Copies of this chain bind each other. A is one copy, B any other.
Amino acid sequence: MTSPSSKIPGEFALIAQLFAPLATSPGAFGLTDDAATVELPRGHELVVTADMLVEGVHFLRNDPPDTIARKALRVNLSDLAAKGAHPIGYLLALSLPKRIRFDWLRKFAGGLARDQRTFGVSLIGGDTTATPGPLTIAITALGTVPKGGMTWRKGAKPGDLVFVSGTIGDAGAGLALLRRRAKSPRALIARYQVPTPRLSLGLALRGVASAAIDVSDGLLADLGHIADVSSVRLSIHAGAVPLSAAYRRLGGDPVRAVTAGDDYEIAFTAPADRRAAIGRAAAVAGVQITEIGQVGRGRGVVLLDGAGREIAVARKGFSHF
C-alpha cells in the first residue's frame, strides 16, 4: 500500500481528520490547543490512571485496529471501574511505526468513537509521534468520585471475603488461541481483544468493597497487591474460581486461569455482612459475582485445593522484567 491516498497526511491533518471529531468535551477545544481543561462536579475529586500498550506485548500486530484501540481505552477504564470512578475522558499518546497507514488509523479512530459512545467519555488531548519501533499506545484516563470515595487496594481486613466478577481465564485462553492462529472459540478471543471494563459494578461496589483491583496481570498476582498493601493473607479456593463454559471445554485448568491475566474483571474484598449488598450490586451491573476466598492474618495470597492444601504456583501472573 503505497498510494498517496493511503499515506498519513501529516501530524496536524491527521489530528484534525481523525482525532478532533473524538474530542467531544468542550474543554478539549477540538484538540486545537496545547492542553485541555476539565471541571469537576462540586464535592468530587479527580481519579487518574495511565496504562501503556505495546505491540507484541499487550496486543498482537495483526489484531484488528479497532479492537486494539478499544482494548487500549478499556484497560484504562477498567482501572477507573475498580476504583469506583465515573469516567469522563482520556488522553491518547500514540507512537506510530512507518508501516501504519491512514486507513489503519481510520479504523483505530473508529474503534475509539464506538467505545466513547458506549462509555460516555471524550478524547481530551494527547500526542502523535513517529517511532522506529513497535506501535505504542499510552492512555491516561480521568474519572471522578465523591471526595474520599475511591475504593482502595488497601482496606482488606481479616475476616473479609474475597470475590471476583465474571469469569476468569478466558482472555488468557483467547491469547493462546491467537498465538496458534486459531480463529475460534470467538468468545475467548473476543475477551482477549476487547475486554469489558466493569464500570457499573465498580460504582455499585463503592462503600461496599473494602478493597478492589482490576485483574490485568493475573488474578493471583493482582490479589497479591491487595494482600501486600492491606497487610493481610488471601486464601483463594481453586475450585470456586468462576470459569466459563467455553474455557471448561478447553480443559478448564484453574491454575492457568488464575495466572493468565487480561481478564479485566474486578477482584475485591468485603465484610461477610455485605453479601446482600454485593448481590444487589451484581444485579444492578448485570454481571455475576462469585465468592472465591477469605482474608486472614499474615501475608501474600495462596491457592487452595478442595482439601484446603496449598497448590504450588510457579508464577502468579505476568511480569514485564
Interface residues of A in 37-96 (CB under 8 A from B): 37-40, 45-54, 56-58, 79-80, 82-83, 85, 91-96
Return the contact of A35 from the options B52, B83, B125 (Cβ within 8 A): B83
The answer, yes or no, to whether A136 is at the interface (CB within 8 Å) is: yes
Contact present for A52 and B83 (CB under 8 Å): no
| Interface 1/0 per residue, A145-156 and B, CB below 8 Å | 101001011100
Could you write out 25 A-B pairs with CB less than 8 Å apart?
Answer: A9-B321, A11-B319, A11-B321, A27-B45, A32-B154, A32-B229, A33-B150, A34-B49, A37-B48, A39-B46, A40-B40, A48-B91, A48-B140, A50-B140, A52-B95, A52-B129, A54-B95, A54-B129, A54-B132, A57-B129, A93-B140, A96-B320, A131-B133, A131-B134, A133-B134
Given contacts A35-B49, A37-B47, A39-B45, is CB(A132)–CB(B129) below 8 Å?
no
Which positions in A face B, CB cutoff 8 Å? 7-12, 14, 27, 29, 32-40, 45-54, 56-58, 79-80, 82-83, 85, 91-96, 124-134, 136, 138, 140, 142-143, 145, 147, 150, 152-154, 213-214, 225, 228-229, 319-321
Q: Which residues of B contact A56 (CB under 8 A)?
A: 132
Contact present for A35 and B150 (CB under 8 Å): yes
Q: Which residues of B contact A58 (CB under 8 A)?
A: 129
Contact present for B50 and A127 (CB under 8 Å): yes
Additional A-B contacts beyond A27-B45, A35-B83, A40-B45 (6; CB < 8 A) = A29-B152, A29-B154, A33-B152, A37-B45, A50-B140, A127-B138
Nearest-Cβ distance from residue A218 to partner chain B, whole angstroms:
13
Return the contact of A124 from the options B48, B54, B82, B133 (Cβ within 8 A): B48
Bound form: Cα–Cα A41–B209 in Å: 29
Bound form: Cα–Cα A297–B13 in Å: 23
Contact present for B52 and A93 (CB under 8 Å): yes
Bound form: Cα–Cα A19–B130 in Å: 27
Bound form: Cα–Cα A132–B54 in Å: 9
Nearest-Cβ distance from residue A295 to partner chain B, whole angstroms:
17
Contact present for A36 and B11 (CB under 8 Å): no
Closest to A214 in B: B34
Nearest-Cβ distance from residue A99 to partner chain B, whole angstroms:
13
Given contacts A130-B321, A134-B132, is CB(A125)–CB(B50) below 8 Å?
yes
